[in-house]
Amino acid sequence: MKDTITKKAAFVAGIIRENPVFVSLLGMCPTLATTKSVESAIGMGILVILVLIGSNVLISLLRNIIPGEVKIPCYIVVIATFVTIVKMLTQAFVPALYSSLGVFISLIVVNCIILGRAEAFASKHGPVASLMDAIGTGIGYTIALCIVAFIREFLGTGALSFGVYFPIGRAFFLHIFPEKYALSIFVQSAGGFLSLGLVLAVMACYKNIKDDKKAAAEKARIEELKKKKAEELARKKAEEEAKKASEVVEEKPAAPAEEKPAEAPVLKPEVKEAI
């Protein structure tokens, strides 16, 4: 049961509580450079998920064999191996995505997210839990990329494109508003910082509101406890006073009965005897 909870927690943590981009602020370089379109963000996320799965599982299997003195170089070798495999597969089957991402595919080797999960989780847990951690972290990273990419592409071009990088047939565009009203700065380098800052600001605002509500609820709970405690103390005090009053009444001696004044003797008139 404990192992099942650990796997579930490892999967969920990377998506929400320990999101690598919005919480840990890791992998900022590819986040800002590969989010000009939602499709390229999805492609980058898939590649990171594949590398995470391969490196996490293999490092977890070798965690008891790799010496502690050389563990970081060994982790980098493992990660670089999977990055090379993913890079070659991308170049062979998705050349448009390979050309779009360019050098950032190779830079996955030094991505803090990959090395961080290898050091913090895979080297300390079993392969199944490490697999769940890799999938959860990869999904959380992909979601973060897609959110930033959606803001940039939506505000920067006024449309969303699909089929440009993935070979799904014919490319098509979903126009949301005319391009002349688009803010081209969002598809430039500065747009990545603006979009990411906007998302982080919204998240911080939501967190502050949530913390304020929690603090207000805690304060109300404390005040309610104080009120109940005061009422209980008042009730106990009243009971003690009533008890003391009853004891005083019981201990007080009864007042002596009033003596009636003695009645004066009635003098009967003397009757003279007849002579």
Sole residue written with tokens 């000009």: 36
pLDDT tens-digit readout, 208-232: 999 999 999 999 999 999 999 999 8
Could you tell me the pLDDT band of residue 74, with boundaries at 50, 70 and 90?
Answer: very high
Phi, psi of 99 (to 5 degrees): -70, -35
Nearest to 40 by CA among 158, 170, 162: 162
pLDDT tens-digit readout, 132-145: 999 999 999 999 99
Find the Cα–Cα–Cα–Cα dihedral 188, 92, 106, 170, rounded to 10°: 20
- Work out the percent of the chain whose per-residue pLDDT is above 70: 89
As a whole number of angstroms, the distance between CA 212 and CA 208 comes to 6
Is the Cβ–Cβ distance between 130 and 138 less than 8 Å? no
Q: Which two tokens stand for residue 216?
A: 């207000």
> What size, in residues, is the chain?
275
Query: Within 10 Å of residue 254's Cβ, how many Cβ atoms?
Result: 5
pLDDT tens-digit readout, 166-214: 887 788 888 888 888 889 899 998 999 999 999 999 999 999 999 999 9
As a whole number of angstroms, the distance between CA 189 and CA 175 comes to 23
Q: What is the pLDDT of residue 237?
A: 87
Is the Cβ–Cβ distance between 54 and 117 less than 8 Å? no
* Alpha carbon of residue 222 to chain centroid: 25
pLDDT tens-digit readout, 242-271: 888 887 776 655 555 555 555 555 555 554
The number of helices, as runs of H, and strands, as runs of E, in the chain is 9, 2
As a whole number of angstroms, the distance between CA 120 and CA 117 comes to 5
